[in-house]
């Protein structure tokens, strides 16, 4: 798109660029240039236009615009195609729909806000506008369906890695997929499948992350990176890094198997070694979380000494 090329040009030059230079460079009339500059301004870019001096880019909007996310992303698969919504009921539904229509592996559905964002176990995911990262990623992994849960662990690890790189904070994972800081919820992952008996057609990994939420935008028990870091975080940089980490871990997982992901997950987790309670419709169980196995299931040693495996549900850390 020409507007994006003009934007690139303005980004590279740090001062004013004359209208003559711009229109000459792109082979367009001054009027056409003006139209593109207006398009960029409408998208939220602050561009000064001063007679005799020309144009200068002053600031870029705090929006997860596909062009901004893609710029310098350098991934091979993840986020190569981006569907962007200012507001959507849930990125999960939009991604499911795209997946059914054959969207390529790595297609990313992004939203600035969700009106019906959902979490696990039928909960809501509060998604205030321009505050967080709300995404769903379509993957078409060539793995045994029994290994699908590892993708959730992979996403959790990638989130913690990206948070460390961009914000310098140490987030932790509570099994299976809660991202916490100081025992408050920072983010979560919801994985949904489109599968037949023995074949997964595609997986949608939904990630919700509280980034620049202020206290008033957070429900009880939740926190945000801004609240933890005491300063705003650049959502675009964080998102780009998250996509890069997901790609790195995903390639490694497909080429070498689960070991590396499980090891990294163990390093970030705060569940293993604790006494926990599993509360779900199907089971009520208490014991020590001793390990996760190769498919991401949690192994719990009951007081009787018997080991039981939990594959889904919610857990409570007792101490």
Residue nearest to ligand BTN (CB): 188
- Count CA within 13 A, CB hemisphere, residue 5: 9
CB of 183 to ligand BTN, least distance (A): 15
Using CA atoms, how far apart are residues 301 and 307, in angstroms rounded to an integer? 4
Residue list 72-101, contact with ligand BTN (CB under 6 A): 90-92
- Name 229's bridge partners: none
CB of 124 to ligand BTN, least distance (A): 9
Contacts of 41 (CB under 8 A, 6+ apart): 47
The answer to the question of residue 188 lying near ligand BTN (CB under 6 A) is yes
Residue list 99-118, contact with ligand BTN (CB under 6 A): 114, 117-118
Helix (H) / strand (E) containing 68: helix 66-70
Contacts of 149 (CB under 8 A, 6+ apart): 176, 191, 295, 296, 297, 311
CB of 285 to ligand BTN, least distance (A): 20
Identified binder of ligand BTN from the candidate list 30, 35, 38, 123, rule CB under 6 A: 123
* Cβ distance to ligand BTN smaller for residue 90 or 223: 90
User: Using an 8 Å Cβ cutoff, are 123 and 93 in contact?
Assistant: no
* Cβ distance to ligand BTN smaller for residue 75 or 90: 90
The answer to the question of residue 119 lying near ligand BTN (CB under 6 A) is yes
* Cβ distance to ligand BTN smaller for residue 10 or 153: 153
Q: What are phi and psi of 265, to 5 degrees?
A: -60, -45
CB of 158 to ligand BTN, least distance (A): 14
* Cβ distance to ligand BTN smaller for residue 287 or 296: 296
User: Using an 8 Å Cβ cutoff, are 233 and 226 in contact?
Assistant: yes
Q: Which two tokens stand for residue 95?
A: 């991604």
Pick the stretch among 202-210, 243-251, 268-276, 306-314 that binds ligand BTN (CB under 6 A). 202-210
Determine how β-strand 108-111 pairs with β-strand 284-292: unpaired
Identified binder of ligand BTN from the candidate list 36, 63, 120, 174, rule CB under 6 A: 120
The answer to the question of residue 157 lying near ligand BTN (CB under 6 A) is no
Helix (H) / strand (E) containing 49: strand 46-50
* Cβ distance to ligand BTN smaller for residue 4 or 178: 178
Q: Report how many residues bind ligand BTN under the rule CB under 6 A.
A: 20
Question: Reduced to 3 states, what is the DSSP secondary structure of residue 240?
Answer: helix
Using CA atoms, how far apart are residues 188 and 231, in angstroms rounded to an integer? 21
Residue ranges that bind ligand BTN, judged by CB under 6 A: 90-92, 114, 117-120, 123, 125, 134-136, 178, 188-190, 206-208
């Amino acid at each position: 798109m020409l507007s994006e090329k003009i934007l690139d040009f303005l980004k590279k030059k740090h001062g004013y660029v004359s209208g003559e230079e711009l229109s000459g460079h792109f082979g367009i009339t001054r009027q056409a240039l003006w139209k593109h500059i207006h398009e960029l301004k409408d998208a939220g870019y602050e561009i000064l236009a001063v007679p005799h001096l020309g144009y200068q880019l002053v600031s870029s909007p705090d929006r997860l615009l596909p062009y901004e996310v893609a710029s310098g992303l350098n991934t091979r698969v993840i986020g190569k195609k981006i569907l962007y919504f200012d507001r959507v009921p849930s990125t999960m539904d939009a991604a499911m729909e795209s997946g059914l229509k054959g969207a390529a592996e790595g297609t990313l559905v992004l939203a600035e806000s969700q009106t019906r964002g959902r979490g696990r176990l039928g909960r809501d995911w509060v998604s205030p506008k321009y505050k967080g990262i709300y995404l769903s990623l379509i993957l078409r992994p060539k793995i045994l369906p029994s290994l699908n849960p590892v993708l959730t662990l992979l996403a959790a690890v990638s989130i913690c890695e990206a948070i460390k790189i961009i914000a310098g904070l140490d987030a932790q994972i509570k099994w299976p997929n809660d991202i916490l800081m100081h025992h408050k919820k920072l983010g979560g992952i919801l994985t949904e499948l489109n599968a037949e008996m023995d074949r997964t057609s595609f997986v949608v990994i939904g990630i919700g992350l509280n980034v620049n939420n202020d206290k008033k935008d957070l429900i009880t028990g939740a926190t945000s990176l801004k609240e933890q870091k005491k300063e705003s975080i650049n959502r675009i940089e964080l998102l780009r890094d998250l996509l890069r980490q997901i790609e790195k871990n995903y390639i490694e997982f497909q080429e070498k198997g689960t070991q590396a992901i499980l090891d990294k997950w163990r390093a970030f987790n705060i569940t293993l070694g604790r006494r926990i309670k599993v509360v779900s419709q199907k089971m009520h169980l208490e014991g020590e979380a001793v390990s996760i196995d190769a498919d991401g299931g949690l192994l719990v040693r009951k007081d009787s000494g018997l080991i039981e495996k939990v594959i889904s549900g919610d857990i409570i850390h007792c101490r």
